Chains A and B, each alone.
Chain A
Amino acid sequence: EDKVVQSPLSLVVHEGDTVTLNCSYEVTNFRSLLWYKQEKKAPTFLFMLTSSGIEKKSGRLSSILDKKELFSILNITATQTGDSAVYLCAVATGGSEKLVFGKGTKLTVNP
């Protein structure tokens, strides 16, 4: 059975801190790993990673994939209160558009 595990499940930090969110997976026929940010409504897409060792960046957010060790990290530097959200990790497997989601990491950034 395909499995995606995120850690920690929740995290409370102060504005300006740097955080690292983790996502590990055990799936058959890995195709890609995706990160989504979910505030109070629908998940919104952040990154898609398919190749090991290539960092994706968008402003203060960055993510990297390690296909040998089967995990990805999402880094957020100089956190702001607007970064408070649930961050979801999902994996796509070959031959299907289905995504397998982890349970999410709830990040709270306090002023």
Chain B
Amino acid sequence: GEDVEQSLFLSVREGDSSVINCTYTDSSSTYLYWYKQEPGAGLQLLTYIFSNMDMKQDQRLTVLLNKKDKHLSLRIADTQTGDSAIYFCAVEAGNNRKLIWGLGTSLAVNP
């Protein structure tokens, strides 16, 4: 079946860039999403990219999509302590456009 994989942990220093990676298996995916989850909170949609794009930039966030390799990344520029959270990659798959979720990458930002 469809699968989404992410590395589980990432630690960066405040002010550095963070890059969170995601790979997926369903080549027919149309929309690919990044969600952020802070402790005790629900999921917040950060950004998304349509499958006919290879890059999308939104302020400090840059999403890169490599459809050939089925690889999605989220770059956060000038990472701040407030960016510490779990970041989930989610990919639309199948005819019913169900979201397939990764396990999440826990980002720790050190002062």
Q: Are A and B co-members of a single complex?
A: no
- Chain A positions within 8 Å of B, measured between CB atoms, are none
